[in-house]
Amino acid sequence: MLTNYIRWNPSPEIFTIPGIDWPVRWYGLMWALSFILSHYILSKVYKLENRKQEDLDNLTLYVMLGSIIGARLGHCLFYDFKYYITHPLDILKIYEGGLASHGGAIGILLAIWLYVRKTKENIWWLLDRIVIVVPLAGMLIRIGNLMNSEIIGKPTTLPFAFIFESVDNIPRHPSQLYEAIYAGLLFILFIYLWKNKRMDFAHGFMFGLFCVLLFTFRFFIEFLKENQEAFENQLPLNMGQILSIPFIVIGIYLIIKRRKYETN
């Protein structure tokens, strides 16, 4: 019976700021928390590794811009290109929603590349530190998706299925929750690796491991999720799976090449 399932219909809005009629949304809050907590954790990392706080502040600005711009452009290019190529100004309407995690990942990598070009920082050292907090950010953003009742799963009869009442009356996989839990476990793992194993591997190994663990899971979890756009129904793999494959390949390469600590 439907009453055995979890009926889910929270408001995406937390409250509205009086006087300006501006709603504060769960999704925006989760994005903000992801930046705040990531910066806080990395400040501890930088302090313990005798790095300048000023460098982290500059890096945070690059990553914030890269992730938001990349996520927005990723959605526009990967999921609705035909619309945005004829309505380019609508790309700026980020407040209407439409952010892609793969685009965010690409945006972060490009931002770090630009940062490294300017600062001459070791890009592999930097990527190994960034992946400590990326899973935490991913967990928070997926919680935001859950509060928005978006990126829903396929129908299921599992007892912990969610009925997203704003979508339909069908019990579905809470795929946002699956991804949030997995991301939380990755965060714990990479905190452990940084604290206890970072001297055992060459720079870049942790980044490679992260790519394999995150995007392999992302590849398979897509089988439990509804496609985000209609055109994906005609593809053998959906867009999320297609975009995950290059990250997995790069990750495997880095694990093989950088599995041992380099003294030079």
Q: What is the pLDDT of residues 184-210, one digit of tens each?
A: 999 999 999 999 998 888 999 999 999
Q: What torsion do the CA atoms of 196, 201, 207, 212 make, to the nearest 10 degrees? A: -100
Q: What is the pLDDT of residues 60-79, one digit of tens each?
A: 999 999 998 988 888 888 78
Q: pTM of this prediction?
A: 0.88
Instruction: Supply the DSSP string of 69-115, one letter for each residue.
Output: HHHHHHHHHHT-HHHHHH-GGGGG-GGG----HHHHHHHHHHHHHHH
Give the model's pLDDT for residue 261: 59
- In angstroms, the CA 2 to CA 255 distance is 46
Give the model's pLDDT for residue 8: 96
Where does the pLDDT of residue 3 fall: very low under 50, low under 70, confident under 90, or very high at 90 and above?
low
In this predicted structure, the answer to whether residue 96 has a pLDDT above a threshold of 90 is no
- In angstroms, the CA 147 to CA 74 distance is 22
Q: What is the end-to-end Cα distance of the chain in Å, rounded?
A: 64
Number of other residues whose CB lies within 10 A of the CB of residue 125: 17
